[in-house]
Amino acid sequence: MTEPSSGGADRASLRPLILVLGACGFASTFTMRILDPLVPTLAAEFGRSIAQVAAVATAFSFAYAIGQPFLGPVADSIGKLRTIVTCLVLLAVLSVAAAFAFSFDMLTVIRASTGIVAGGVIPIAMAAIGDRAPMAERQIMLGRFLVLMIVGQMAGAACSGVIAEHFGWRGVFVMAAALAICAALLVTLVLKPRPDAARPALSFKGALANYAAVFANPRTKLLYALVITEGSLIFGMPPYVAAILQERNGLGPSLAGLVIAGTGLGGIIYGILTRILVERLGPARMTTVGGLLMATGYALFALPFLPWWSAIAFFIVNGFGFFLMHGTFQAQATELAPTARGSAVALFACALFFGHAIGPVAMGIALHLLGTTGAILLFAAGIGLLGILTPRILPLAGSRT
């Protein structure tokens, strides 16, 4: 696979690309996190348990994961911008449908469908940036895109609770639909497909050959297993945060959303400091420090006697630690198969969201067996151990010795 030509792009031409695709990432991640502060509200609305409503996050994440191996080849064939616009329009339609869901089962099916189309935005946008940004600018451009994406994640968690308290939970999905349509319009009006882009015909055989090249690397299975574990441990918590804070402190969804949004703020801090962190720590230390920071954040959140607002700081620490670890894993994924890099990254996203799907189920079981404090401490120990073991069992490219 040859690298797409991007040598003619300059910083001025890349600015609208990053802003528009950043808006797409914002719309996608806004939709991803909007349900977390609404879990107690939806449990009361539909007469379901907290664990049942939290499992809707599993449906979304599982669908996001299984869609990845198919969306990459589709985007290569019909064009990345066209794929992004199509997925955003479908995202808007499904968000409106969720706003009018009259049963819990209907909402679950709609959210699962939403997970598939949401998965056709961010990975494809990152591939589009790779197509157009020269290598000298690519890492910086992707970093800026990441910040805009994280802001969307924060806004989804923070705004969801506020909108729900003033306009009802259905209004949250209407807002998500409006953002998706605005992002689709921006892509259509501002960005144009590359006239010289090579778009091979969609081929099942070609896709299989690329995936075979990815798994020919002996490090692939181990890296993906680590990413599934990471996703399970870090994303098992958010669907239960609102319920935990409501039980402990009587908080409503708006303040719970503010706490969850702290994870995104930690990611923004990471995005600003990435160059310094890579130079000072190196990949091996970044995974270890990241795991220990996440463990610390969870362990402190497990203490029920601390004031609710302290949880914001804990989730900022948690988010910073997550991106320290996950950013390292993501960089390793891009080196698994240089001739099939798009397929490798698609499967990386697939692995992450399989973990994302498993996490809430595992946390629900842990809460039932161990109680709130015990379950959170178990996940804290797991993520800390993952950070310590990773550089010992997976050689990390660029690690310091």
Nearest partner of 246 among 55, 43, 88, 63, judged by Cα: 43
pLDDT digits (tens, 9 = 90+) for 173-222: 999 999 999 999 999 999 887 666 666 667 778 788 878 888 999 889 99
Q: Could you tell me if residue 186 is inside a domain?
A: yes
pLDDT on residue 6: 45
* 400 found inside a domain: no
Three-class DSSP labels, 256-291: HHHHHHHHHHHHHHHHHHHHHHHHHCHHHHHHHHHH
- How many Cβ atoms sit within 10 Å of the Cβ of residue 306? 15
Whether 95 shows a pLDDT value over 90: the answer reads yes
Q: 286 in a domain, yes or no?
A: yes
Mean pLDDT for the stretch of residues 61-79: 83
At residue 397, the pLDDT reads: 55
Average pLDDT over residues 149-178: 82
Top mean pLDDT of 41-55, 148-162, 223-237 is at 223-237
Using CA atoms, how far apart are residues 271 and 91, in angstroms rounded to an integer? 27
Distances (CA, A) of 267 to 44, 197, 262, 322: 32, 33, 9, 8
Rounded mean pLDDT of 131-160? 70
Q: Which long-range contacts (CB under 8 A, 24 or more apart) does 93-96 make?
A: 93/177, 95/31, 95/173, 95/174, 95/176, 95/177, 95/180, 96/173, 96/174, 96/177
Predicted local distance difference test score (pLDDT) of residue 139: 54
- In whole angstroms, what is the distance from residue 135 CA to residue 262 CA? 32
Q: pLDDT tens-digit profile of 255-274?
A: 887 888 788 888 888 878 87
Q: Would 3 be classed as within a structural domain?
A: no
Note the pTM of the prediction, 2 decimals.
0.74
Residue 225 reports pLDDT greater than 80: yes
What is the span of the domain harbouring residue 350? 13-190+201-393
CATH number at residue 143: 1.20.1250.20
93: left (phi over 0), alpha (psi -120 to 50) or beta: alpha
Check pLDDT > 50 for residue 99.
yes
**Would 18 be classed as within a structural domain?**
yes
pLDDT at 2: 38
Comparing CA positions, the residue from 148, 149, 129 lying closest to residue 139 is: 129
pLDDT at 91 over 90: yes
For residue 17, which amino acid is it? L
- What is the reported pLDDT for 345? 75
Q: Which two tokens stand for residue 135?
A: 């290598």
Residue 6 lies in a domain: no
- Report if residue 2 sits inside a domain: no
Report DSSP letters for 159-175, one per residue: HHHHHHHHH-HHHHHHH
Whether the per-residue pLDDT at 112 is higher than 50: the answer is yes
Q: Sorting pLDDT into bands at 50, 70 and 90, what band is 339?
A: low
Q: Which two tokens stand for residue 94?
A: 């499904």
Q: How far apart are CA 52 and CA 260, in angstroms?
A: 20
Provide the residue count of the chain.
Answer: 401
**Spatial CA neighbour of 181 closest among 13, 353, 30:** 30
Least confident residue range of 136-140, 170-174, 248-252: 136-140
| Residue with the larger pLDDT of the pair 186 and 77 | 186
Domains in the chain: how many in total? 1
Q: Mean pLDDT over all residues of the chain?
A: 84
Mean pLDDT of 371-392: 94
Going through 167-214 in order, the beta strands assigned E by DSSP cover: none
Q: What percent of the chain has pLDDT over 70?
A: 89
Report whether pLDDT(37) > 60.
yes
CA distance 93 to 178: 10
Check whether 399 has a pLDDT greater than 90.
Answer: no
Angle between helices 169-190 and 80-99 in degrees, nearest 10 = 160
pLDDT tens-digit readout, 346-361: 888 889 888 988 998 8
Which band of pLDDT confidence, cut at 50, 70 and 90, is reported for residue 400?
A: very low
Domain-embedded: residue 213: yes
DSSP 38-69: GHHHHHHHHT--HHHHHHHHHHHHHHHHHHHH
Whose CA is closest to 56, among 361, 352, 369?
Answer: 361
